Structure 1
Amino acid sequence: MSDPLQNVTQIRNKRPKQQRSVELLQRFRRASEIEAPTEVPYLIKGWLAPRSLAVLYGAANVGKTFLALDIAHAVSRGASWGGCRVQTAPVLYVTLEGGAGFDKRVAALENPCFWVLSAPLSFTDPRRDPTFLAEAIEDLEEEAGPFGLIIIDTLARAMSPGDENSSQDMGRLIASAEMLKERTGACVLLIHHTGKSAAQGARGHSSLRAAVDTEIEVTKEDGSHVIEAEATKQRDMPRGTIFRYRLSERILGKDQDGDDISTCVVERAADGEEPRRAKVKGKAEIALQALHTAIERHGVQRTGPDYPDGRSVTKEQWRSCAELHGLFEGLEHESAKRTFNRAIGELNDKGLARSFNEIWWLA
């Protein structure tokens, strides 16, 4: 006997769509219909973007705060900075290492119009100080308008009592900075320090560099008055942009004893004025020559945000050329290994060679 339902088409009831599914469906796009944007938002063109996370770092006393104040001054006034276009926006400078020194630096600026907050804050718990700060900024926006730039000086103080080398603590700080960025729509710029070796980049856990959209390194060669800021990482802009400046003294007045009250302001270095290159001698000089040779013979262009625009080599390729240059002459294997590591360490510390994941290149 045949099945009486064999020619009957079953009707399947579709499940009612959830509102979130409908919302997502409306956001689907064909890749062929996507065009490059003709208007790219920026705060400082080529340097900082709105709604982004950035870090500005360098050695102690290299002039980071002076530079950060100069950036705040330019953005709040809409003045050109480093020859680059600037979009005017309210700026908040959060100084966690304030005091008389900071106040003098602000007073030296001509008609500053950004906001300053001097208060102890901890960014290791996004539910506390960062949330309260975001709420306070939102209230201030009723008077000032939407903020474009929020500077946190310094990251180390913002992490207290956390550990910079802890992935968990650094993750909490990043989460706080991201929350502040999303709630305000501003660029959050963290002022930070280098580690024991300047060539290894910003101090602390590597998750910081992975999280930021922009990384600006501030360096100064021994014996030079010129300081160099370089955009060493950009997620959506070309990297390698450089701003050279010097610190120019300003006399603010006299103290109670009649002595000058002085500080400094940023002054852009003259065109063609270059920082002096650090000099090396002995084994380090031979290793540097060997790196030039290795790049000439074996250098390749690598892709990725952590590699240079030029050619780079592996450590083994560099070591092989160092042997050709006579760096290990008369040395046993272990002594040769120590000699090479000391030499490249010196080149690291003097900023003449850079590395990432055992790949090396000339700075």
Structure 2
Amino acid sequence: MEDRARASRLGGSDKRQPRPGLHLLSYAEMEAMPEPEWLVEGLIQKRSTALMFGKSNSFKSFLAIDIGLSVDTGRDWHGNAVKAGGVLFVATEGANGVGRLRIPTWYQHHAVSEEDRRAFLYPQEICLDTPDDVTSLIAAMNICGNFALVVIDIFGGSMKGSEIEDKTARAWVHGIQRILRETGASVLVVAHTGWQDDSRARMHTHFWGSFDSRLRMEGDKDALTGTLTVERHKDADSSGSWGFRMAQAGESLVPEMDSTVKTGTAKKTLSAKYRAALNALDDALTGHGVRKFGADWPPCDVVLTEQWRKHFYLHAADDSPEAKRKAFQRARDALREHGHVQFYDDHAWRCFA
């Protein structure tokens, strides 16, 4: 009180006064919040983050260019409505081929006039876990115009730290959220699947859980076909699968919808026995899980398969040791085949979709 009175007498202000509080939404304001809008119908929402992941040579980059340039030109994406807007491609590898061949070839294939070719390219790595790089990118985007979509290809080249480190993940996600908040653009990130686990992208779990949409890309290099399947939308129905044939166009490839290409099917519900096996794995991870580091290990806890087996036996209803052994072997193999678990060096871990 004396300090404030003194500041008042001297004609100054009390710099220690608290900043205005955060605005908390009332119930009426919650109800009035707008529903999410689609940038690409069924695929990417406005002001959202999307992850496209798949193995090498599954045509991920070609599909990302196809999606991005559909937004750039306002063309329907294979029958799905699109909201037109500016597009920036951040090519952290192979930028020469992207800018000189792939993007021009797509425009030519779809007979887009020169004046309507408005996409931008940033042709090198960028550290989105570094605030200064994020600030520079946002400033460059604001100078060039209004952007609706930023395509980052490939994920591993978009950070200074390691893609399996928690510190890097939190800084990177914060940087991406700044891009959404300060530019209004959506972000589509292209990433490889893991070395030992091809059911998810190769990244720390904090990265994996941060995306609003996850899209799985699978391809057949020899047949020049691919499928894109929605694995999850946080705020929409998580369905949708498209089959493509890669058409040769000049020195590049362009995706064309092909109904004869078999697309993904709905995930099967686990049987009670397999669910019990997963519960046993969760118990084993809780009691004995450890974190391993190295190129062949996932960014999550793993547990010795023998520890999982012991917990499974506690869950198993079969009385004889031989019946329990066979039941565990069947459950282990089936869960791996369907992408629920993965193994390396006598250890097991969960794969979350």
TM-score, normalized by length of structure 2? 0.69
Q: Does the CA contact (< 8 Å) of 1:91 and 1:147 recur in 2?
A: yes
Aligned to 1:106: 103
Report the 3-state secondary structure (helix = DSSP H, G, I; strand = E; otherwise coil) of the residue aligned with 2:106.
coil
1:116 aligned to 2:121? yes
Name the aligned partner's letter for residue 126 of structure 2: L
Higher-Rg member (1/2): 1
1:89 aligned to 2:78? no
Distance change (3 Å), C-alpha of 1:316 and 1:348? closer
Distance change (3 Å), C-alpha of 1:90 and 1:316? closer
Aligned to 1:269: 258
The runs of at least 4 aligned residues of structure 1 exceeding 4 Å deviation read: 221-225, 316-320, 328-332, 335-340, 357-360
Distance 1:33 1:169 in 2: 33
Aligned to 2:130: 125
Q: Does the CA contact (< 8 Å) of 2:150 and 2:186 recur in 1?
A: yes
Distance change (3 Å), C-alpha of 1:342 and 1:48? same
Name the aligned partner's letter for residue 31 of structure 2: I
How far did residue 36 of structure 1 move?
Answer: 7.7
Aligned-residue sequence identity (percent) comes to: 21
Structure 2 gap segments, 5+ residues each: 1-16, 281-311, 343-348
Distance 1:343 1:329 in 2: 20
Distance change (3 Å), C-alpha of 1:58 and 1:117? same
Distance 2:235 2:252 in 1: 36
5 Å matches for 1:1-363? 20=20, 24=23, 28-31=25-28, 34=31, 37=34, 40-102=36-98, 103-110=100-107, 111=112, 112-126=117-131, 128-141=132-145, 146-160=146-160, 162-220=161-219, 225-250=224-249, 252=250, 262-270=251-259, 272-275=260-263, 295=271, 298=272, 313-315=275-277, 333=325, 337=328, 340-348=331-339
Q: What do the CA deviations read for 1:232-277 (whole angstroms, capped 9, x no partner)? A: 1212221122122121111x3xxxxxxxxx221111112x531599
Q: Does the CA contact (< 8 Å) of 2:129 and 2:159 recur in 1?
A: yes
Distance change (3 Å), C-alpha of 1:98 and 1:85? same
Name the aligned partner's letter for residue 200 of structure 1: S
Distance 1:91 1:135 in 2: 15
Name the aligned partner's letter for residue 108 of structure 1: T
Report the 3-state secondary structure (helix = DSSP H, G, I; strand = E; otherwise coil) of the residue aligned with 1:149.
strand
Q: Does the CA contact (< 8 Å) of 1:74 and 1:81 recur in 2?
A: yes
How many residue pairs are counted as aligned between the two chains?
286
Q: Does the CA contact (< 8 Å) of 2:48 and 2:186 recur in 1?
A: yes
How far did residue 56 of structure 1 move?
Answer: 1.1
How far did residue 155 of structure 1 move?
Answer: 1.1
Structure 1 gap segments, 5+ residues each: 1-16, 253-261, 278-290, 300-311, 352-356
Distance change (3 Å), C-alpha of 1:199 and 1:314? farther
How far did residue 99 of structure 1 move?
Answer: 4.1
Distance 2:150 2:321 in 1: 55
Q: What do the CA deviations read for 1:161-216 (whole angstroms, capped 9, x no partner)? A: x1111111111111111111111110011111111245531111111122111111
Report the 3-state secondary structure (helix = DSSP H, G, I; strand = E; otherwise coil) of the residue aligned with 1:208.
helix
Distance change (3 Å), C-alpha of 1:346 and 1:86? same
